[in-house]
Amino acid sequence: MTGRLRDAAAGWRLALRIGRREARRARWRSLLVIAMIALPVAGVTAIAVTYKTYDVNTVEGLDRRLGTEAAARVEAQSPGAVRQGIDPDQATEWLEETGSGPLDAAGVRAIIGDRPVLSVDDYGLDVRTDKGVAWASGLRTDLSDPLAAGLTRLTDGRLPQHADEVVVNAALAARGPGLGEELRIPNGGAEEVRKVVGIVESASVRNEAFVAGATLPESSSGTTSTWLVGGAPVTWGDVEKLNSKGAFVLSRSVVEDPSAAALAADRELRSPGGGPDASETVIVVLIVVMVLLEVVLLAGPAFAVAARRHARDLALIAASGGTARQARRAVLGMAIVIGAVAAGVGSVLGIGLARLLQPLAQDQVSAWFGPFEVPWLQLLTIAVIGFGAAICAAIVPAWIASRQNVVGVLSGRRSESRPSKHSPVIGLVLILAGAALSAFGTRGAYEGIPIALGVLLCVAGLLFILPVLVALAAQFSARLPLVVRFATRDADRHRTRTVPAAGAIAVTVVGAVTLGIAFGSDQEQNQATYQPSFAYGDGAVRVDASIGSLGNPDAAMWQGVADQVAKEIPTATIAPVSAAVFPDPGTYFMIQTADGADVTPGASNGTFGEVLVAEADGTLPSAVTRVLGDADAASAEQTVRAGGAVVFTDGEGPVSKEARFDVQKWDEEAQSEQKLASVTVPATYLHVEDSYAPAYAVVPASVAKKLGAEPQVSGLYLEDARISPAAEQDLAEALAAGQIPTSITVERGFQQDDEAVIVWLLLITLSAVLMIGGALTATYLALNDARPDLATLSAVGAPTRTRRGVAAAYALVIALLGAIPGALIGFVPGIAVSFPLTAEGWPERESVASHYLEVPWDLVGIVVVGLPLLIALIVAVTTRSRLPMVARVE
Amino acid sequence: MSRVHGAGAAEVHALRGVSLAAYAGELVAIMGPSGSGKSSLLTIAGGLDSPTSGSVTVDGQDLGEAGISGRAKLRRTSIGYVFQDFNLIPALTAGENVALPLELDGASRRQARAAARTALEEVGLDGFADRFPDEMSGGQRQRIAIARAIVGERRLILADEPTGALDTETGEDILKLIRARCDAGAAGVLVTHEPRYASWADRVIYVRDGLVVDEAGETPGALLVDEAGA
C-alpha cells in the first residue's frame, strides 16, 4: 500500500516538475491564466474580508454600546419577567405580565447593589438644518459622567456642562449647526434651542446626523429606561435577577466570558430562523457555479493551447512507453502549479485590496467598521475554489492530450478529432429540459428556483452544442473572404481552444439577455401600471405630515406658502384646495347611492382629502377640473351650484341621481358603529378609469357643514408647475422649513429611476468586459498558435495588413459564435422569469395585463452585433501588422 | 551582396559579398554545409530579408527600392517559394492554398480557383483541390507547395531543400516538376545538399562561410562527383 502511494507520489512529482517548467517556459500564457483566476479570487476575498470587518460581533461591539467604563447596560422594558441570552438584542423572551411598572434606577440599585448608575437614551429626533428639518440620532445622557466614557470621542470643543448645551457629530455640523452655533429642535408646536459646544464622533453612528446632551427633549414615543451601570462585573446571576423584574442586561463580563448557564440560555432562546432559505441558497449556488464556469471557460483555452504545444512531447512520451495517465498528469501538473500560484496571489491581493480600500468602504456605510479581520476559513474556501477552477479548466485538454493520435501528431497530421455525434443530442436534450423547467417556473412555483436551474441546464446544453456550431461555421465559410475563412477554419481546427472561449462569451450573453428581458419587462410593467397623481405637469403642496401637526394653518399662512411657491415657479397658477375636515379624527364616512349601493372607487389618491369642498360660488377645485372633460366639468359644476355632490366611481356607472353620505364612528364602549349624520343630496356620478380619482367626492360647503365637517384649506394645487427636479428639491427643502411645513409633488409621468439606468449600464459594461476578455484571450492565443501560418502567408506575399485582418476575423468569429447562440438561449429563461416577475399584483385592475414582456432589443443588438464588431475593431487596432518571418518561426 | 546579423561581439557574417545571377529557363543549385549561408541567400533573393549591403534585382526591379509592400507584391506575382517542410496552411484546402497568392493579390475567387486547378493539374494533383493538407502524404503536400509557387505567371522559383522531408523517389518527382517549370521559361534557384538533386540543375554554386567558393558550368555532375570523392 505504502509502495503504491510512493509510486503515485513519484508520478505526480514528475508531473508537477514538468508543469512547473512548462508554466515558466510559456511565461506570458501562464501569467494570463494566473490573472484570470487570481482576479476573481482577489475580488471575492476582498468582499469577504470587508464584510467580516464590517460585521461586528457582540464582543467587538461592546464598547459601542457600553462605552469603555460601564460594566453593563440595563434596559427596563416590561412590567413582567423576561428571559434573555448573552446578548439581549439577539435572544429574548417575554414572560407573563405582572402588572407592576418597569424598574426604575432605584429598583436596579436594589437588585445589583449600590453602584454608579447613568441614565442613557438612544432615540431619533428632528433637528433643524440649513436646508430645513432633518432626522438625527439622539443620545440623551450626561456625557461628562465617567460611565459615559467611550460612547463619544471629542474631536473639537468640549463636552456639555450645562443644561442647554449639546454636542453634535461632524455629519450634522456639516449640515448647519456647527460649533458655537445654536441647534434648534422642533418639539410639538414649539422649538427648543441648545448650544453646540463640541464636535464628537459617536461610537455607534457614522455619517448620519448625531446629537448628544443631557437635556435633549424626550422622545415622542416615550423614553425607555436604560442605564449604564458601573462598578464590579455584573454576573449572570445579576442578569437573571434583573430579568425577573422585566429588565434586559448587556453585561461586559457575561459577553466576554459567558458561564455555562448563560450559554445554555443563549442556545435555547436564540431564534433559529437566522439561516438562509432554500431559494437564497440556490441563487448563491447558481452565482458561484456561473462565476466558476466563466473562469473555467476563460482559462480553458490557455490550457488547450498549452496541451497542444505540448502534444509532440506527449506523443514522444507515449511512443517511448508513457501511459495515458502520465500524459494527463503532465497537463494537470501545469494546472496545479498555475492554480496554486493564482489562488495564493489572489488571496494575498484580495486581503491587501480590502485593507487598502477600507476607508473608502467605510465611507459608504453609516455603521463603524470593526477591527480589520480576515475570515481565514472563508478565504481558504475561496482559494480552493479558484484552484479548482484551474484544474477544471485543464481537465478537457488533459483528457484530449491523453487520447491523442500519437502517429498523427508525430507526422504532423490533424490531431483534433471530429466533434462527437452524441454531444449535440445531449446538448439539445439539456436545453429542452432547461426550457421545460423554465416553463414550469413561469407559474412562480418554488420562488423561481426552477428557472434558475433552467438557466444552468440551458447553458450546459449550449456548451455541448457549440463544437457542432463551430464545425458548421467552418463548413459554411468556404464562400467568405480569405481572412474570415482562415479564422473560421482555424477556430474549427482548434476546437478545444475555441469552444471554451466562445462558451465564456455565450454564458455572459445568456446572463445579460436573461437579466435584460427580466428587467425590461419589470420596467414595462411599472410604466404601464403607473398612476399619475395629477394632470401631467401639475403639482401639489400639502402639509408634511411627517414633521408633525402644527394645528390648523389658516388662510393667511397658506397665502404665505403660495407666495413662496409663486416666487420659485412663476408660470404656475396656484389655487388653494379645501377639504371637508371632521373635528374628530376617528370619524369616517361612506358614500352610497340612494338605494344603498356602494360607489366608493377602489383607488383614490386623496391628495387633498377624501371629500373636497367647492368654492362658495360653486367653482370646483382645479385639482378636479384639470382631470375632467369640459362636458363633465360643466355638469359637475351645475350639480354643485344646485347644492348637490359630484361623486367619483370606478364601478359600472350608477343610474342613481342621488348620493347618501353617512358619517360614522366606531364606538369603543358599545363595540359598534355609531351613525353621526346622514345626508342625501342630488349627485352627478363621474366614472373614472381605475387610474385616477382626485377624491371620493366634491360637495358644496353647505353639505359639508350638514355632515358636521368644516371646509378647510388642505393644500395648494399648482397648474403648470413645470420645474426641474433639482428646483423641486430646493423648493421642497425650503417649504419643509417654512411656517407650515409643507411638501411639494410635481407630476412628471412615469420616470425611469436612476437605478434602472445604472443596472442597464452595469449589464452592458459587465457583458462587454467579459466578452472582450474572452475574445481577446482566445484571439491572442490563436494568433500565437498561428505564427507558422502567418509566416507562410507572409512568404507567399500577403500584404502587411493581413495579420490585422486575420486577428480581427478571429475575434469576430469567436465573439459571434458565443454571442448569437447565447442570445437565443438567453430568451428562454428571460421570457420565463418575466411571468412571475410581472404577475398581476395589488390592486387588481381592469387595465392591468396579467403579464408584461419587453425584450430590450437595444441591449440584444449591442451584445450580438455591437460588441463583436467593437472587439474586432479593438483587435485590429491593437495587433501588430508585421507578419513573422519563416526563418524565425521554428 | 552581404548580410550581417547582430552587432559587436555577436556579429555574424551570413553572406560576405556574394554575387549570383539566375536567368530565365535556368535552374541554379546552391550547395554547401549547414550555416554556410545558403538559406540566407534564398530569403534575401525572395525579399523576405534585406541585404546589409548590395542589391537584389528580380525581373529588372530592385527589391530594396520596392519597399515592404512592393516586395510582398513581388512574392504574390513573380516569386514562388518552396520550403522543406511545405509550409501549407492547414486551415485551407489544397486548392485554397494554391490560390492563396492570387487571392491575396485581389484576384476574383473564380479566377484564383481556375488558376489553382491548372497548377494542380500541372503537378499531377487534379481532383485534390478540396482536400486539407493533413489528409495528404508528404509528397502530395510538397506538390501542393510547388503548385502554389508556380501558380499564375511566376518568373522566379526559390526552393529551400524541397526534398528534405521526402524519400528519394518522391524527391526525384519534385525535382522533375521544378525542372519542367524552368524549361517552360522560369528562373529557378534550388538550395540542397544532395548531389543527386543538384545534378538536375544547369549550374551549381558552392557556398561556404558566406562566400561562393566554386561554380560548375555545363556538366555539374562531374564536379560534384569529384567534390564528393575528395
Q: For A700-722, how does the pLDDT look when each residue is reduced to its tens digit (9 = 90+)?
A: 888 888 888 888 888 888 888 77
pLDDT of residue A176: 79
**Which of A196, A225, A254 lies at the terminal end of a domain, its last residue?**
A225
| The predicted structure's pLDDT at residue A188 | 66
- The answer to whether residue A734 sits within a structural domain is yes
Decide if pLDDT at A221 tops 60.
no
Which of the two residues, B15 and A106, has the higher pLDDT score? B15
Of the ranges A812-826, A872-886, B75-89, which one carries the lowest mean pLDDT score? A872-886
Give the pLDDT score at A383: 93
Three-class SS of residue A414? Answer: coil
Q: Looking at B11-50, list the stretches that DSSP marks H as alpha helix, in order from N- to C-terminal side.
A: 38-45
Chosen domain end from A683, A715, A746:
A746
Residues of A in contact with B135 (CB under 8 A): 414
**Using CB atoms within 10 A of its CB, is residue A3 exposed (0-12), middle (13-18) or buried (19+)?**
exposed
A662 shares its domain with A579: yes
Task: Check: CB of residue A255 under 8 Å from CB of residue A60.
Answer: no
Mean pLDDT is lowest, of A86-100, A112-126, A386-400, A674-688, for A86-100
Residue A718 CA to its chain's centroid (Å)? 35
Whether A617 is covered by a domain: the verdict is: yes
| pLDDT at residue A485 greater than cutoff 90 | yes
**Residues with Cβ within 8 Å of residue B134, at least 6 apart in sequence:** A412, A413, A414, B90
Test A789 with B76 for CB contact under 8 angstroms. Answer: no
Query: How many cross-chain Cβ pairs, A to B, lie less than 8 Å apart?
Result: 79
* Domain annotation covers residue A81: no
In a domain, A147, yes or no: yes
Are A554 and A470 members of one domain? no
Question: How many Å apart are CA A744 and CA A740, to the nearest integer?
Answer: 12
- Suggest the residue from B15, B44, B88, B89 to mutate for an interface test with chain A (most A CBs closer than 10 A): B89
A102 assigned to some structural domain: no
| Per-residue pLDDT at A204 exceeds 50 | yes
Residues A563 and A705 in one domain: yes
Among partner residues A413, A479, A886, which is closest to B87 by beta-carbon distance? Answer: A886
User: B145 to chain A: which residues are within 8 Å by CB?
Assistant: none
Distance CA A484, CA A478 (A): 9
Q: Which of B15, B100, B153, B167 to mutate to test the interface with A (most CBs of A within 10 A)?
A: B100
Q: How confident is the model at residue A603 (pLDDT cuts 50, 70, 90)?
A: low
**If you search the block for the grid coordinates 518568373, which residue do you land on?**
B155
Residue A792: closest CA among chain B residues belongs to which residue? B87
A470 and A553 in a single domain? The answer is no
Nearest C-alpha of chain A: how many angstroms from B225? Answer: 31
- Residue-wise pLDDT for A38-84, tens only, equals 888 888 888 888 888 887 777 777 888 888 888 999 988 777 788 88
Instruction: Based on the fold, state whether residues A623 and A729 are members of the same structural domain.
Output: yes
Choose between B124 and A280: higher pLDDT: B124
Pairing mode, strands A697-699 and A611-613 = parallel
> Is B90 an interface residue toward A (CB < 8 Å)?
yes
Q: Which residues from B are below 8 Å from A797, CB to CB?
A: 72-77, 79, 101, 104-105
Share of chain A above pLDDT 90, in %: 13
pTM: 0.71
Contacts 24+ apart (CB under 8 A), A753-760: A756/A519, A756/A523, A759/A519, A760/A519, A760/A859
Specify whether the CB–CB gap between B23 and B214 falls below 8 A: no
For residues A763 and A659, state if they share a domain: no
pLDDT given at position A433: 95
Burial class (CB in 10 A: 0-12, 13-18, 19+), B60: exposed
Residue finishing a domain among A225, A246, A272: A225
Residue A678 shares a structural domain with residue A601:
yes
**Same structural domain for residues A695 and A790?**
no
C-alpha distance from B229 to closest chain A C-alpha (Å): 32
What domain count does chain A have? 3
Task: Show residues of chain B in contact with A483, CB under 8 Å.
Answer: none
3-state helix, strand, coil in chain B (%, to 5): 40, 20, 40
Q: Do A886 and B43 touch (CB under 8 A)?
A: yes
Q: Of the candidates A792, A797, A798, which has its C-beta nearest B87's C-beta?
A: A792
List of chain B residues whose C-beta atoms are within 8 Å of the C-beta of residue A802:
104
DSSP state at residue A866? I
Assess contact for A544 and A742: CB atoms under 8 A. yes
pLDDT at A847 (0 to 100): 54
Length of chain B: 230
Residue A673 resides in a domain = yes
Element containing residue A712 per DSSP (H, E): strand A710-719
Question: With an 8 Å Cβ cutoff, are B89 and A493 in contact?
Answer: no
B-proximal residues of A, 486-505, CB under 8 Å: 486, 489-490, 492-493
Asked if the C-beta of B132 comes within 8 angstroms of chain A's C-beta atoms, the answer is yes
Count of C-beta atoms within a 10 Å radius of residue A856: 23
The pLDDT, as a whole number, for residue A682 is 87
pLDDT averaged over chain A? 81
Q: Quick one: how far is CA B145 from the chain centroid?
A: 10
> Looking at the domain assignment, is residue A38 inside a domain?
no
CA distance A306 to chain B (A): 19
Q: Are residues A576 and A498 in the same domain?
A: no
- Asked which of A170-179, A221-230, A809-818, A844-853 is least confident by mean pLDDT, the reply is A844-853
A654 with A737, same domain: the answer is yes
pLDDT band for position A692 (50/70/90)? Answer: low
Is any Cβ of chain B less than 8 angstroms from the Cβ of A412? Answer: yes
For residue A366, the model assigns a pLDDT of 66
pLDDT at position A102, please? 75
Closest CA to A45 of A312, A384, A309, A365: A384
Q: Which residues of A touch B165 (CB under 8 A)?
A: none
Contacts 24+ apart (CB under 8 A), A552-560: A552/A581, A552/A712, A553/A713, A553/A739, A553/A740, A555/A713, A557/A739, A557/A740, A558/A713, A558/A716, A558/A740, A560/A738, A560/A739, A560/A740
Residues A369 and A52 sit within 8 Å (Cβ to Cβ):
no
Question: Which of these ranges, A163-167, A443-447, A732-736, has the smallest mean pLDDT?
Answer: A443-447
What is the pLDDT, as a whole number, of residue A549?
A: 46
Distance CA A441, CA A451 (A): 5
Q: Test A797 with B89 for CB contact under 8 angstroms.
A: no
Residue A615 inside a domain? The answer is yes
CB A579 within 8 A of CB A613: yes
Nine cell digits for residue B176: 522533375
Q: Does A407 touch chain B (CB under 8 A)?
A: no
- The residues of chain B scoring below 50 in pLDDT are 219-230
- Selecting from A412, A486, A887 the residue whose C-beta is nearest the C-beta of B92 gives A486
Contact list in B for residue A798 (CB cut-off 8 A) is: 72, 76, 104
Do the chains contact at B100 and A796, CB–CB below 8 Å? yes
Q: Which residues of A touch B111 (CB under 8 A)?
A: none
| Substitution target from A404, A498, A783, A792 for chain B, most B beta carbons within 10 A | A792
- Ranking A132-141, A665-674, A793-802 by mean pLDDT, the lowest is A665-674
Same domain (yes/no): A735, A808: no
Does B89 sit within 8 Å of A789, measured CB to CB?
yes
| Predicted local distance difference test score (pLDDT) of residue B229 | 38
Chain B CB contacts of A493 below 8 Å: 90-91
The whole domain housing A680 covers 539-746
Q: How confident is the model at residue A538 (pLDDT cuts 50, 70, 90)?
A: confident
A717 and A768 inside one domain? no
- Nine-digit cell string for A651: 364601478
Q: Using CA atoms, how far apart are residues B13 and B3, in angstroms rounded to an integer? A: 6
Verify whether the Cβ–Cβ distance A489 to B49 is below 8 Å.
no
What is the CB neighbour count within 10 angstroms for residue B211? 15
> What average pLDDT does this structure show over A509-530?
84
